[in-house]
Each structure stands twice: as C-alpha cells, then as structure tokens.
Amino acid sequence: MAQQAAGTSAASGRPLVWWYLVVSGVYLLITAIAGFAYTTSFGVGPTAKSVGSSQIFGIFETNGWHNLGGLVNGVSALGFAMTPTKIARIGAIVIGFASGVLAILLFAWPSQPLLASNGADQVIHISVAVGGIAAGLMTRPEAA
C-alpha cells in the first residue's frame, strides 16, 4: 500500500495548499464580482464607508476598495495554485499573513476611512489567514 505524503489529499493526491488556494481564490473572486454588482464606490474619507457601501447577500459589508482587494487576493490565490508546491506554500502563507494583518488592523481601527467591513467580513479575513498559514505550514515543499 502506497504511503500518502504529508499535506496531500488521499482522494486526489493534490497538496493541501493547492486546495486552500483554489477554494479561497474562487470564493474571493465570487464575492468580489458580486460586490461590484452591488457597489462600485471608491470613496475616500470619513463618509466613504457609509455613502458608497452596500452588503453582499445582506451579510458582508463592501465597497469598491473591499471588492478590489478581494479580486486581487482571489486572482493571486489562483495564480499561486498553478505554481510548483514549493512556491504555492509561500503564496498561501503570504496571503494568510496579509489577511491576518488586515483583520487585526480592521479590529484595532474600525473607524478607518477606506474599507467597508463588519463582523462577518472579519470571520472571513481570519479564516483566510488561519487557513493560508496552516495549509502552507502543513504542506511539505516536496509534496506531489
């Protein structure tokens, strides 16, 4: 019986980091595109969040800046999913770390004048952060 490499899925043989990057990338792209359907406001300043923001599916607070960030992260995640595992690990960790920093900044500075964000968004930011760092660290660079 063949032994499964650490950090790979038994069903597909794909590295765990690949699954993280594809699932998070697709999710972020869907929410970014849906967000642009709700609002394209790229306001700046104290009223930017309240004037141009909307809620995707009635849950996630969004504005143009938030949508753009999701679009960039989604495309980045899918781009890293197409690279060798060694590079994909680094990409997942970087995306995870950046999402963690964003969550901390939005928690520490909720009145910031640029991104529309609420508690539901913070759950996603933290999930993307923990998932990226965990998947990156749990996948061996030599995984198939």
pLDDT by 10s per residue, the chain, length 144:
344 455 555 456 889 999 999 999 999 999 999 989 988 888 776 665 555 567 777 788 888 888 999 999 999 999 999 999 999 999 999 999 999 999 998 888 877 767 777 888 889 999 999 999 999 999 987 754
pTM of the model: 0.82
Instruction: Please report, as a single letter, which amino acid is at residue 70.
Output: G
Structure tokens at 59: 């849950």
- What is each CA distance from 100 to 17, 26, 52, 95, 105, in whole angstroms? 17, 19, 25, 9, 9
User: For residue 90, is it left (φ>0), alpha (ψ between -120 and 50) or beta?
Assistant: alpha
- What is each CA distance from 118 to 44, 49, 87, 100, 105, in whole angstroms? 18, 11, 32, 15, 13
